[in-house]
Structure formats: C-alpha cells, structure tokens
Amino acid sequence: AQSVTQLGSHVSVSEGALVLLRCNYSSSVPPYLFWYVQYPNQGLQLLLKYTTGATLVKGINGFEAEFKKSETSFHLTKPSAHMSDAAEYFCAVSDQAYSTLTFGKGTMLLVSP
Amino acid sequence: GAGVSQSPRYKVAKRGQDVALRCDPISGHVSLFWYQQALGQGPEFLTYFQNEAQLDKSGLPSDRFFAERPEGSVSTLKIQRTQQEDSAVYLCASSLGASGSSDEQFFGPGTRLTVL
C-alpha cells in the first residue's frame, strides 16, 4: 500500500521568504509523485509532477520539487513567497500500474506581509 | 466550459435521504475518478472508471455508495440512506489517458454534502 506524509499542517512564511513544504512517501514500486494546490472553494490544480527522468521538477508559479529516492522525499520549494501563494498544498503518489492518487493530509501555507 | 464541472455545488440532506451527485468530465477524457475529502483531510479515492467500465471501486466506504458512467461521459455518484459521516466534499477528476498513464488529473470544484 502507498502512503504520503506531509510534515506540518500549517506553514507560515513572510512575503519574499523561502517556501519549503515537506512530503515523504512510501511505495513498493517506483512512484509517480505530484503536488496539487487548492484555493478556497476551488478544485485541485496540478503544480508539478515527477514520473521519470530528471529528479528536479519545475512547475507553475515558480515552484519546484526534487525527487530523492534514498530519502523517499518529494519536498516542494519556492525561492520567494508571494501573497497569492497562500493556499492548501497536497502531495500525492500513484504507482505506475494504476492512476489513482493517494494524497497526504495537506499543508496550509500562510503568507504574511 | 473546458474544465470538469460538478453539480450541485452544495447539497444539504436529512439523514436517511438519498442523494445524487453529477460530474461532467472534460470531453474526450477516458478516465474518471471520484474522491471524498473530509474536513481537514486530503482527498481519498472512491472509484475509477475507464470509459463506461468501473474498473476499481475499492474505495467506496459501504454498499450505500454507488457510481455509474453509462455512456462513458457523465458520471453520477449516488449515496443511499445518507448518514452524518457522509458529510464531505466529493471531488470528481478526469484524465485523457487510460489507467497506468501519468496524465494529469483535472479536478472539478467539488460538491459539498452536509448531512443533518
């Protein structure tokens, strides 16, 4: 069975500061890894995904994530936070045989001026 | 519109009522997924369709939950004899490819179900 652990239900940063949202996964097979963002009363939007190849993945809105197999991690980063980044972020995993996603519990990112 | 749409956006039901939630996926998308998102939690998988075939229903929490996609397009999630623990946001997602692809899942805005 697959699982995802997101450390910290809430992360607070100042505008312009580094954003780091942590995600660790467990999977018995090579995984596909995803980060989604959810704004209030909206559906989830894909930020980025890792399938194969380069382990550093760049996504939309300046976010990137690095797949580290040895650490079973897929942490999300952004060099400089913007007020519009305030939202809930979900890490997810799927195996290569099926497409269903297993999500973490989410991390709410709060950005202060 | 070009995205996934869901209706109704909000539904209030009395305990014991039956409800039906509708999902209109992106046209031409082969795969359709239903997820349940309880308050403060991440979405949890309910069921998966490839065209009209329901290939995985392992996430349905009880036999009160039933989903269909008869023509391989619109899908309906039905909950019979609703209980308070069914209160959640129900998310629908669709993707272009079949099971096993890494295609992006596009999510609808969800239906928020409140059971009183």
- Residues of B within 8 A of A4 (CB-CB) are 42
The C-alpha of B13 sits at a distance from chain A's nearest C-alpha, in angstroms, of 20
Pairwise CA distance, residues A87 & A40, whole Å? 7
Do residues B75 and B63 touch, judged by C-beta distance below 8 A?
no
Angstrom distances, CA of residue B42 to CA of A44, A108, A112, B48: 11, 11, 24, 17
A52 to chain B: closest CA residue: B102
pLDDT above 90 (res B97): no
pLDDT per residue over B42-54, tens digit each? 999 999 999 999 9
Average pLDDT over residues B94-115: 88
Give the pLDDT score at B75.
98
Is residue B1 scored above 60 in pLDDT?
no
Does the pLDDT value for residue B101 go beyond 90?
no
- Which residue in chain B has the smallest CA separation from A34? B104
Q: Please name the member of A90, A97, A98 whose beta carbon is closest to the beta carbon of B42.
A: A90
Burial of B1 (0-12, 13-18, 19+ CB in 10 A): exposed
Report which of A85, A78, A65 is spatially closest to residue A25, judged by C-alpha positions.
A65
Q: Is B42's CB within 8 Å of A98's CB?
A: no
As a whole number, mean pLDDT of residues B18-29 equals 97
Q: Compute the distance between CA of residue A54 and CA of residue A32 in angstroms, rounded to an integer.
A: 13
Which of B42, B48, B95 lies closest to A103 in CB terms?
B42
Distance (Å, rounded) from C-alpha B32 to C-alpha B81? 25
Confidence of residue A98 (pLDDT cuts 50, 70, 90): low
Choose the weakest-confidence range: A51-55, B36-40, B68-72, B83-87.
A51-55
For residues A63-81, average pLDDT: 95
Whether B44 sits inside 8 A of A98 (CB atoms) is no
Residues of B within 8 A of A49 (CB-CB) are 102, 104
- DSSP strand pairing (B10-13 vs B111-115): parallel
Residue B66: pLDDT band (50, 70, 90) is very high
